[in-house]
Copies of this chain bind each other. A is one copy, B any other.
Amino acid sequence: MITLASDFGSPYPAAMRGVICRQSEARLVDVTHDLPRGAVRESAFWLRETLPTFPPATHLAVVDPGVGTDRGVLVGRASGHTFVGPDNGLLIPAARRIAGDDGVDWFHADPGDPASTTFHGRDVFAPLAARVHEVVRSQGYGALDAHDRLTPADPTTVDLPEATVEADAAAGTVLAVDDFGNVVTNVPGDFLDGREAVTVNGEQVPVAETFASVAPGEPLVTVGSHGYVECDVNRGRGDEQFDLTAGDAVRMA
């Protein structure tokens, strides 16, 4: 199985699918092609939240504002999964979460002489993902070591910020805003334990277990599906209500 993720929207993902289908009969499963455009850190968060749900697979991910520069081409190996994408940190949090204590083996791949300087998804990453997938499938996981175009690498990392939590207050950051407008912070969910309300950047908001605990259009904070405090609106958009976007500071008390 090869999973595909990108910020390409439409129709460029089709070219990646086509290129892979020419080289491999692997099952293709789309993660999404609507990752936040050019936003490596936010996209890395979404990949960390979604890729670990999959069984062992080759994960191709491309959010690549440095396309055409000398940024490296990265291949990773962890716990039966294989990762292929630009060496800009995109896949690091997902791979680390999947690997746990086992750690991840990272390699640089030779990009060759791609046909374009602007579409390495089609010209570099998709063919590499198909090739690597076939190596692992036919020769086993260890064969990646010997694969002549891979060399051990120390990858560029992207760190998702951690919140500072004290007994009475938390200073955090917005990790992402989802399609519903839910504001995903990095404040651990247990900050809400025993609280009936919190202030979010000074605004008092009820703590609720479910969206439907408050009236439609009303704000709430809850422990979201990522385990963090989310600032949401029942059947509305939390990002607009709280005026928050990815990367913003958020203070709760």
- A interface list, Cβ under 8 A from B: 1, 3, 5, 8-15, 17-19, 21-22, 28-35, 37-38, 46, 49-55, 57, 65-69, 115-119, 122-123, 178-180, 209-213, 222-225, 230, 235
Q: How far is the CA of A164 from the CA of B176 in the complex (A)?
A: 47
Q: How far is the CA of A21 from the CA of B11 in the complex (A)?
A: 23
Q: How far is the CA of A69 from the CA of B213 in the complex (A)?
A: 8
- Within 8 Å by CB of A118, from B54, B122, B222, lies B222
A15-B117 contact given A21-B55, A29-B28, CB 8 Å threshold: no
- Within 8 Å by CB of A46, from B11, B33, B65, B116, lies B11
Chain B: minimal CB distance from A94 (Å): 11
A50: which B residues are within 8 A, CB to CB? 11, 14-15, 18
Q: How far is the CA of A34 from the CA of B30 in the complex (A)?
A: 15
A225 and B118 contacting across the interface, CB-CB below 8 Å: yes
A37: which B residues are within 8 A, CB to CB? 180
B29 and A10 contacting across the interface, CB-CB below 8 Å: no
A224-B116 contact given A209-B68, A235-B65, CB 8 Å threshold: yes
Q: How far is the CA of A119 from the CA of B182 in the complex (A)?
A: 12
